[in-house]
Structure 1
Amino acid sequence: MPADARLVVPVLAPTGGAGRSTVACLLAAELAAAGETVLLDTAPRLASPWPGWTTAAGGGLSALPPAEPATCEAVRAACSGMGGPAGGWDVLTDSREWNAPPLDLPLDPAAWYQLAALGGWQAVVADTPHPVTHDLLAARCAGLPGQTRAWFALPYSVPVLCAAASAEGVQALQQAVMAMSAENLPLHRAVAVLVATGDGRLPSVVRAAATMLSARTAGVVHLPHDADLRATGLRTGRVHARTRQAAARVAAAVLGAAHESWGAPLPPAPQPAVLRPSSPVVPA
């Protein structure tokens, strides 16, 4: 990607257990070949696997006080490093001990976008914790935009929608897609990922759902079952070759959706406004 471009990839799901963090990790590792990449862990520390998957090399989110202006150097220094077949990439998570007081993390996706823009990364993967269908309905009833719409609205955003490749998983994803369609969200640049829960042929209901989803989204990718990931998680780095191939297809679908929507190469991304010191108040 061009040095002044920025692709935002929020990883979303209608329910828990959909493989969001796994997909986010695999996708970030693949996008590292296209440009400097960061993964933003937007979940509370005790609800996130990232503090256990990363080493506490950087200061983490706690090193960025919300009431003080940050610099590119400070944001970069707060990250933990991750390796992959396509090169290294960064993770910004809460890397403190489990019993530290919880951080007051921002809910607004624009705040996370500003943080990524300040760090100067070209690819930004956001691991999100909120259930999208509930968020859409709650936001509609309250007359508010909601987090899901806000993630879709960020500049050069290509959302990835995850679901377990089971009858319940695809039903929840189909319901989420219908809700997004009713809210006129741009599903044509969203990518669906169906995460297998076991070996063997996908159930017929999952294959049927994939056909429906492929007509409404930019693409549908099946992520195969990986026994090593299930047994040891992503900290060990042991990933089956077919899993990496599927992750490469997810990354290709994301980049393809971005280029189809905005052209190739991607246009320059918006930059955060420069913070200027306020003028002292002079008494009359």
Structure 2
Amino acid sequence: MQRICVIGGSRYFGKLLVRRLQAAGHQVTVINRGSTPPPPGVEHLVVDRDDEAALTAALASRTFDVVVDQVCYTPVQAAIAARAFAGRTRRYVMTSTIEVYDPATAALPTVPPGTPVTEDTVDPASWRVAMDLPWHDDAYLEAHYAEGKRQAEAVLARAAGFEFTSVRSAHVLGGGAQEFTGRLAHYAGRITRGEEITVHAKALPTVFIHYQELADLLRWATMADFTGPVNACSDGPLDVHDLAAIIATQAGREPVYRTVPAGDEASAFSFDRHYAMSNARAKELGFSFAHTTDWLPGAVAETLTAAPSPTA
């Protein structure tokens, strides 16, 4: 049994992670602002992680084997956590994102289309941190989500006193109520209703992961001893046409496309730039991934079942 603290853990794969850690016999503590209580038997600390004094007071004399941070978006949050958990944990696992590799958001090394992007493309140990940017402004943070994650990783990677790893997640999908982003439902709805999907003329592939697989990978990362970033994506990249075709097969409708020029806004998952990740490092460390086409049809079926009728 290990003592594991989950910051966030109130929805989607974080909620599932908490249940799976508890089922495995670990002593779990959840820290969030109290909007959603954890399962019975899980310790709940209600505190705003942005309030350093309140967080330190809530932690009191507690120590943990591992901290899993589901909701770290800025270097400011990361710095608060690094100070609050210094000397309290052996290992710190942060949930990060594929967006750290988006070449539209930072000057990154060029990766040729078709070459899976590896973790060393963004090295948190050497990434510049700017604490004085307006990270507390919601509009700024939304517009700089990828950079916030890069800098948060950088702060925690340089923190003393604990091992650190970041799990850079692909686009997370589920089915029905389990897909909190609504993107799969968006596609299912538009295809079912015969509405246009906007795509780029040369839409490039991206990578996905099922929310259950991501929960499994995060649980695996809590028990592991590697450090540094690790990419989390199912095998089998798909482009927007591949995704739409899987939905269309089950919906019984042909997708309708409208092409937009490169650089223009298109539907989610239509990309005119390449940053599909490699999952080779996680495999080398011992994690086995499913293929996207193993779970995506089931998620689509759940989404279609949950969606209202096109005539409703």
Instruction: Give the TM-score normalised by the residue count of structure 2.
Output: 0.37
Larger relative contact order, structure 1 or 2 (CA cutoff 8 Å, min sep 6): 1
Instruction: Give the TM-score normalised by the residue count of structure 1.
Output: 0.40
